[in-house]
Amino acid sequence: MAEPGTTTGDVVAAVLDSAGVTAAFGVISVHNMAILDAIDRRGRIRFVPARGEAGAVNMADGHARVRDGLGVAVTSTGTGCGNAAGALVEARSAETPLLHLTGQVDTPHLGRGHGFIHETPEQLEMLAAVSKAAYRVSDPGECAAVLREAAAIALTPPRGPVSVEIPADVQAAAAVVPDDVSPLPLHPAPPDEAALERLAARLAAARRPLLWLGGGARHAGAGARRLADIGVGIVTSVRGRGVVPEDHPLTLGAFNQSPDVESFYGTSDLMVVVGSRLRSNDTRTYRLALPSPLEQVDVDPAARGRLAYPTDGFVGGDAAAVLDGLADRLDGVFRPDPAFADDLRRAKADAEERLRNAIAPYDGLADALADAMGRDALWVRDITVANSTWGNRLLRVHGPRNALHPAGGGIGQGLALAIGAAVAAPERKVVCLTGDGGLVLNMGELTTAAETGADLALVVMNDRGYGVIRNIQDAEYGGRRRFVDLATPDFAALSAACGLDYLRISAPCEFTPGIRDAVARPGPALIEIDMSAIGPPRVPFGGPMGVPA
């Protein structure tokens, strides 16, 4: 029997609490009030009010990536739910375990075409298209079971967002909180032992092998580091940065497609791709020449043969178990080419020098950020020219949860990801690099940053438009620039209005003192890099095919 005042909202709060959720993000609505009321009454989960549903889901995404746990976003039904769709696409691209709780109209009117406020036909089907899975809770008694299953699906590799609709009348209905609301157990896939033995033998016979580590290997750092320590070379996708600290002498970091590195690949006698799709932006749209033979490791059996590159073998299983198993088998057995480590270091140094020359004078900005941030800062990057060229590569990352970026390639999500990261790790500095065009898409979340007190330095590369599109139009459309010049806000006035500290940098000589000052300030600050005053990078960036790295 339900205790007086206990609702389905209390069931939701209890399940989230049991799952270790510490923060949820969202926009309050008449169609989610019962859930948020229960979360607040329970008092164990912090609720962060976002200014838009897209930002809320991005914040939950960033929070989950840093904590390596379940992210939670709460939205309304109808338009509010629709606003979340793009951010759910991002969470799915990034394979972020995220629970999206959304309202639905009262059950007597659901699907009846009555014109009930906020109703959207086929909302559940829309959510199924942009989420890993989507459910509807139709009765208070099934709520706990549905949420426990949804959380388990979100956390099971390949991870992803799961959406759950709960009609407003079901949320507010009297309910009983079950005795057991603990998370369902997860069952990581064990490696295919025969395939693992075959791959270990192939690695043992190689002299110059490389591991390509993707986002699916972020939890596999121990085994990857052991393999690097015995002489196996490492290179990562942008999502795989920091699985092995990027100051390790046997890693190329994310310098995965420079001409210098591509030439080095030609001397390798084996590449093992672990937890990566070899995405187009990491492979120059699949034109990057990779070593042969090419082996694949993935927890998802459906990934076999999915790469755009032909593979010579597949090992199914969790990346951590596979890499630990390989390290166990190769320790004391593997004998790399004595010249391999020096050749790798030289390729990385040449690639870095090539990049620094291409981005000058902004190599000084990268150096200033690296010096001010230290090893433990969280490095969040939006989709912008600066990140596509140097932000995703040049600053070294030392942990697999230290670097966040929009994996799906959509602009404007960096600020909200950074706020979620700051809420997840309030003891650490967050530095977010974004562009003026992208920032405007989620500009309202500047007030969320101020309200939360996020320890966030937001570095805005202001070129007064969509710089990468300008460059493509110059290169491929005869210089016919269309729809790329933007009316840019007065960032000083905007920062003051939102309650953020503000600093403007308009010359290379200001990079070091300005960034040092901004990063040292507690709380949120906006740092405008006036690219019109400083000038463009030496080599224009024209999209993923033109990455000067």
- What pLDDT is attached to residue 249? 97
pLDDT of residue 548: 44
**Domain range summary for the chain, segments of one domain joined by +:** 8-172, 193-348, 360-546
Tell me which residue has tokens 């990063």.
Answer: 519
Cα separation of 324 and 221, whole Å?
9
Nearest 5°: the CA angle 151, 157, 159 is 55
Provide the CA 53 distance to its chain's centre, in angstroms: 18
Rg of the chain in Å (alpha carbons): 24
The CATH fold assigned to 8-172 is Rossmann fold (3.40.50)
Q: What is the pLDDT of residue 109?
A: 84
Phi-psi category of 373—alpha, beta or left, where left has phi over 0 and alpha has psi -120 to 50?
Answer: alpha
- Equal CATH topology for 8-172 and 193-348: yes
CA–CA separation, 127 vs 82, rounded Å?
A: 9
Residues 6+ apart with CB under 8 A from 506: 530, 533, 534
Residue 510: Cβ-neighbour burial (10 angstroms; 0-12, 13-18, 19+): buried
Report in angstroms the alpha-carbon separations of 298 from 146, 305, 310, 522: 28, 11, 15, 41
Give the separation between CA 20 and CA 173, rounded to whole angstroms: 25
Closest listed residue to residue 400, CA positions, set 340, 320, 344: 320
Bridge-based pairing of strands 133-136 and 456-462 is unpaired
What are the CA-CA distances from residue 475 to residues 64, 319, 384 (Å)?
39, 41, 18
Query: What pLDDT is stored for residue 543 in this prediction?
Result: 65
Tell me what pLDDT residue 111 has: 80
Q: Is the C-alpha dihedral spanning 60, 63, 64, 65 positive or negative?
A: positive
Report residue 416 as tokens.
Answer: 């909200």
Q: Which residue has the tokens 């004998």?
A: 335
Task: Tell me the C-alpha distance between 320 and 218, whole Å.
Answer: 9
Q: Which CATH number fits domain 193-348: 1.10.260.40, 3.40.50.1220, 3.40.50.1100, 2.120.10.70?
A: 3.40.50.1220
Tell me what pLDDT residue 2 has: 57
Q: What are phi and psi of 65, to 5 degrees?
A: -65, -40
Residues of the chain with pLDDT under 70: 1-4, 542-549
CATH no. for 360-546:
3.40.50.970
Q: Structure pTM?
A: 0.95
* 385-394 residue pLDDT tens: 999 999 999 9
Half-sphere exposure of 476 (CA within 13 A, CB side): 12
Question: Which SS3 state, helix, strand or coil, does residue 400 take?
Answer: coil
